[in-house]
Structure 1
């Protein structure tokens, strides 16, 4: 089922047994080779620091540290970046997986559509892993994968924020491609470009959520009520520091940037610990100037 109805979501939730994989089995990244800020993306990504200069070498070092750290918990592969696709450092919006399937998104901006045409990444999943390819890049609907769609993999539930980077047709296409049981669609607040900046589901048992990232506060509260008491509510400032752009790479660890971790209050840290998560923080100040953070850098392989 795919719906905007909170009543239908509340009725479905008690039936949603967490019987799927809680975390990915491997990860893929794309290096920030030729790193710079993409002007096209800045037209609808207010998190980009267009007024700042960027240190391309510093971004490469940050990314190498991220890759090394992620590889301590998951098998990790890195593909080379390209100055012609500066946003490729955030691959989860263009390439995503479900068990046995690789999905290619339909991106709003041409600078990102170039990424979807990469033969090496497509070939890795199709030819090396023998995954079925589902190509949404020509569906005629905006569908920016796990940027727009935050998935509770354990339950097969999708939370899809609609806006310029994902429309209702794109949400329906992703619901089918990921094989989800249920998808709740909602409007993002004005100025928000991706759901994964305002919501993260951690191993199916907790969430991090920024209520002001939702156009309708009732949607945020309905999602929070479903996961209570494992709910970390973020302030506007914490959201801007990318605290919502986090990911559980194992059932006992939540990963975020050093900036995001530093923004958390002590009671929020304590709540994550009570839910069984240790915080793993990686410094990413140069990469974050491009309008995304750690979760955006990590492509999950299921």
Structure 2
């Protein structure tokens, strides 16, 4: 895992320091250990050394209900990741719907039962939102326009339980913020917390959240609200522009 070709602003910030690969592998293995320790089955796709963004599996697909959607990646550097996913889906006889023209990435798709929030970003188009809605007649698919410098929706908004979400309001328009405020209790993160990918936590259910130790104020706020926070170091991987949610792709969710 290295920053060889800059494709987002976080990478541009860290490109000179780059990534300590040994430490990044240790941190990723530690995340897997935490998930497996609470009974989550973790499936690893085949790794190819030259695919430096492959760790961010959230982007290459997403599951809504009983349908697996294969994303249409915007950046050429990431399109080969989909071939590995498609091979796994076909070998395991998992049916899927492929996006073939309009670009959409899983980091822009946040699911809450029959509601689906989709970030309109440089990576996900309005056309893809229309295609997604056509495939989900029993869901309400709502687009959220993101500020131009924001990579994906889950970098600024993330639902962490049935009533609660993390949010960085300056990165979306006021109408979108008010729409989300009607649905959730919103915990606002600071600019610094957003830069350190504070909203990109991994919610494990039952108010258990994996979060970065750097975001101490946010973690304390969540603790005061009754969440159980497991702080997992991820300092090397976030240099490439993603954190815990970005590194996981749920196939099956249980209530």
Query: Considering the TM-score relative to the shorter chain, is it more than 0.5?
Result: yes
SS at match of 1:192: coil
Q: Distance in 1 between matches of 2:134 and 2:212?
A: 32
Q: State which of 71, 75, 78 in structure 2 corresponds to 1:105.
A: 71
Q: State which of 15, 24, 30 in structure 2 corresponds to 1:50.
A: 15
Q: How far did residue 265 of structure 1 move? A: 6.1
Alignment of 1:1-302 (within 5 A): 35-41=1-7, 45-48=8-11, 49-73=14-38, 74-118=40-84, 121-128=85-92, 130-136=93-99, 138=100, 140-145=101-106, 147-152=107-112, 155-177=113-135, 181-214=139-172, 216-228=173-185, 231-260=186-215, 262-264=216-218, 266-271=220-225, 273=226, 277-302=227-252
For structure 2, the 5+ residue unaligned runs are none
Return closer, same or farther for 1:56/1:267 CA change in 2, 3 Å cut-off: closer
Q: How far did residue 141 of structure 1 move? A: 1.1
Return closer, same or farther for 1:268/1:68 CA change in 2, 3 Å cut-off: closer
Give deviations 1:123-160, integer Å, cap 9, x for gaps: 433432x3212111x2x211012x111211xx321111
Contact conserved, 1:101 with 1:131, CA < 8 A, in 2? no
In the TM superposition, structure 1's runs of 4+ consecutive aligned residues that sit over 6 Å from their partners are none
Q: How far did residue 75 of structure 1 move? A: 1.2
Q: Distance in 2 between matches of 1:177 and 1:83?
A: 35
Count of equivalent residues:
249
> How much is the aligned-residue C-alpha RMSD, in angstroms?
1.9
SS at match of 1:232: strand
Q: TM-score, normalised by structure 1?
A: 0.76
Q: Distance in 2 between matches of 1:193 and 1:235?
A: 17
Contact conserved, 2:56 with 2:248, CA < 8 A, in 1? yes
Return closer, same or farther for 1:123/1:82 CA change in 2, 3 Å cut-off: closer
Contact conserved, 2:196 with 2:238, CA < 8 A, in 1? no
For structure 1, the 5+ residue unaligned runs are 1-34
Q: Distance in 2 between matches of 1:60 and 1:84?
A: 15
Contact conserved, 1:207 with 1:224, CA < 8 A, in 2? no
Q: TM-score, normalised by structure 2?
A: 0.90
Q: How far did residue 95 of structure 1 move? A: 2.3
Q: Which structure has the higher relative contact order (CA within 8 Å, separation 6+)?
A: 1
SS at match of 2:210: strand
Q: How far did residue 177 of structure 1 move? A: 4.8
Contact conserved, 2:103 with 2:125, CA < 8 A, in 1? yes
